[in-house]
A and B are shown apart, each in its own frame.
Chain A
Amino acid sequence: MDRRKLIRKILVYAIYILLLSSLQVSYPGRLGFGGQTADITFVFVVLVGYFFGFKDGVIVGLITGLVRDCLAPIAVVGIDGTVRVTAGIGMLVMFLAGAVGASFFTKRMHRNVPFAFVSIAFTTLLYKISGHFMAYSWTFIAPAVGSYDLGVYEIVVRSCLLQTLLNLIAGIPILLLLRFAGPVAVSDQRKSSDDVIAIGEENSWLQI
């Protein structure tokens, strides 16, 4: 990749990471509905992975996660009942989101736009189900947390499905941003993505 394209890519990612992360934590009320908030940074990472490959997905995921840990970390009730602010959970979540986004039928579907929404829905559901499972499991490790008494309706409808719907809606503007004002110029996109998939193996880092 030539230097100019690399600089553009780094700059665009840096701007979007800071902008979307700031919007996420500054105006969650405007991004939310029914107690859930559209996770625009999460959607961004998934789409970066989906459109621009594994390397971009995981690196952008790690940095976005670091910013998430910095701006809105998770507080966890520890084994001794003490509430502690953690670091690293955001990085782990976003890193895996980038990796999953980059691996979700990208080869078979040739990174086509409609399937990007399936990728968002799949990754969001995976995140929410894993999150609920972890929270439920944590009550056994740290009894001080108390019982995890979310019902099936709460988990399936009000948490997983609602979050997926909000993320899908948030995916539309982010997808347009990445396509038309993204890290790779529109003129370079056409010739690159499928060629790269054809040349590289899924196991190798994709480069555009």
Chain B
Amino acid sequence: MKKLLTSKWFIVLAVSLLLIAGIVLSFIPNSPLKAAVGVSSKVVSPAQKGVKSTGNAFSDFWAAIADGIAIREENKTLKQEIADLKYKLNQYEEAAIRYEELKGAFHIRDTFSNYDIYGATILSREADEWFSVIRINAGKNEGIVLEQGQSYPVVDVEMNLVGRVIETEGSTSKVLPLLHEGFSVAGKVNEVNGASVIICGDSVLKKSGLCRVKGIDKNIKLAPGTVIVTSGEGGLFPDGIPIGTIESVDYSNPTEVTATLRPYSVIGELEDVFVMIPFNADTKKEGTPGASESSAQGQGGQG
């Protein structure tokens, strides 16, 4: 018996079975394994931030040396451009005043005016083909609280869709990226009465940085370069968030026309993202009643 218990393969089997049980339990909110991961996150996150900032500092230092000469030349050109831009800025300021006047007159409202926008930095990205959830440094402490069935859109600095928040912790949140095969969003062609489509992540296309476009009406002619934005159907995402452009369309099967889409946002190149939280969502700060529940899970339905 003692020999069996100290056997290498018995240990491998026993620990593997324990871990598999833990993985299954991790689907349940408040699972002990999730709690253990949460605790270790408090230790690991500062270390990872330190490594990242050190890496960035080295990278910036090297870039400063390498780009020094080019920067000097660029500076001259930029000074000239600044003068031109200042002139344009004056003109735009005039236009902005005019816009505000017209906005009131025509009851135009900003597309996302009923959303709170929370800025965050990407802490960690995908580790490999499958470990692909990204983490951002804004969580419950910053007011991003997810209730069961909720999910918030995440956009980049140019308001292009990046993904959606699927889990929140104290000071971090986990984001399901647009390229993940579990991601799905209702979109439309960015024109008046534009055709509706569904954009999904795809395990094959994600390696090329592309998404699959489904639900295309066979009578609709989509051309490469067509801009796709969120349609707002499903209620998860507001309409009008730019997603990307059509890369190619496959009409070979008339009953199921599909296309590929190249997203505007490239996660590998992003540093900062923004979480959009509707005003009516429950965004109670942690510590307030009802906000102390464990991290909620986002729904997989399309937005």
Judged by a CB distance under 8 angstroms, whether A119 is at the interface is: no
Chain A positions 153 through 171: 1 when the CB is less than 8 Å from some CB of chain B, otherwise 0: 0100011000100000000
Q: Give Cα A121 to B55, complex, Å.
A: 29
Rounded to whole Å, the gap between the CB of B269 and the closest CB of chain A is 8
A75, B132: Cβ atoms under 8 Å? yes
The reply to whether B44 and A83 contact each other, CB–CB distance below 8 Å, is: no
Q: CB distance B174 to A77 under 8 Å?
A: no
Cβ contact within 8 Å between B128 and A39: yes
- Among B131, B206, B207, B301, the residue within 8 A (CB) of A72 is B131
Which of the 9-residue segments B28-36, B153-161, B242-250 touches chain A?
B28-36
Kindly list chain A residues whose C-beta atoms are within 8 Å of the C-beta of B174.
73, 75, 85
A66 and B40 form a contact (CB under 8 A): yes
9-residue interface stretch from A5-13, A143-151, A176-184: A143-151
- A71 lies within 8 A of B181 (CB): no
Known: A28-B127, A75-B180. A83 touches B206 (CB 8 A): no
A19 interface neighbour in B8, B12, B51, B124, Cβ under 8 Å: B51
Contacts of A72 in B (CB 8 A): 124-127, 131-135
Is B132 a contact partner of A83 (Cβ separation < 8 A)? no
Which of the candidate stretches A95-103, A110-118, A191-199 sits at the interface with the other chain?
A95-103
Q: Which residues of A contact B228 (CB under 8 A)?
A: none
Contacts of A71 in B (CB 8 A): 41, 44, 48, 123-124, 127, 135
Chain A residues whose CB sits within 8 angstroms of the CB of B125 once the complex forms? 25-26, 28-29, 72
Query: What is the CB-to-nearest-CB distance from A41 to chain B, in angstroms, rounded to a whole number?
Result: 7
Determine whether the beta carbon of B204 is less than 8 Å from that of A154. Answer: yes
Instruction: Count A-B contacts at CB 8 Å.
Output: 197
In the complex, A157 Cα to B52 Cα: how many Å?
31
Point out which of B36, B128, B166 has the most chain A C-beta atoms below 10 A from its C-beta.
Answer: B128
Residue of B nearest to A73 (CB): B133
| Chain A contacts for B16, CB-based, 8 A | 92, 95-96
A173 beta carbon closer than 8 Å to chain B: no
- Cα–Cα, bound, A194→B219 (Å): 72
Residues of A contacting B51 in the complex (Cβ-Cβ under 8 angstroms): 18-19, 22-23, 26
- B127 in complex: contacting residue of A25, A78, A85, A159, CB < 8 Å: A25
Residues on A facing B (Cβ under 8 Å): 18-19, 21-29, 34-37, 39, 41-42, 54, 58, 62, 66-78, 80-92, 95-96, 99, 103, 131, 135, 144-146, 148-151, 154, 158-159, 163, 202-205
What 4 A-B pairs are tightest by C-beta distance, nearest first? A35-B207, A22-B51, A25-B124, A72-B127
